[in-house]
Amino acid sequence: MIAQKEYLKAQTKKNVVANLKNGDVLKIKSEVFPFVYHYVVIEKDNEGLFIYHNQPDKLNKLGGSLIREPLKDYIKGKEIVGVENLGDKKVNLPKMFDVLMTQKYNVVKNNCEHYINFLKTKKYSSPQVASWTLALLLITTFYIIHKKKWKQLKKYL
């Protein structure tokens, strides 16, 4: 049963990749954190399929973290969670790449999601960062409020 499931995953991934178009945005499950996603945008040209993405552990020739690389090299062993087309937004990826090429990766201010949302909406934002920040703020607030109560309860234990 597990082998069949893996086969279906591989076939689905193969079909997704075969149908990619210029400007498609791939949502890929993070290898490190299960609830975090990495986003890449597809460029299809005469040489094949390439991705543009903001990668923290790689630098381009100008020292920025926005890179272009072959999809086939990047996608090995990764799970595609979703595909979205930029539609009629007609983004000039090479021009956008030139504009953002010197920017360095920063998980809060300049991650892959900031780049993709800028391409889609012209707003430089990251809903993932906003959600994680809110969750952390709520947990911290809960801890601070209940810290005194826990100390008082320890006296009776």
For β-strands 66-70 and 24-29, DSSP reports them as unpaired
Q: Is residue 89 a contact partner of residue 22, using CB atoms and an 8 Å limit?
A: no
H/E stretch holding 132 reads helix 127-156
- 36 confidence band (pLDDT: 50, 70, 90): confident
CB 68 within 8 A of CB 97: yes
Residue with tokens 């790689």: 58
- The pTM for the full model equals 0.73
Lowest mean pLDDT among 22-31, 48-57, 62-71, 101-110: 101-110
Helix (H, G, I), strand (E, B) or coil at 102: coil
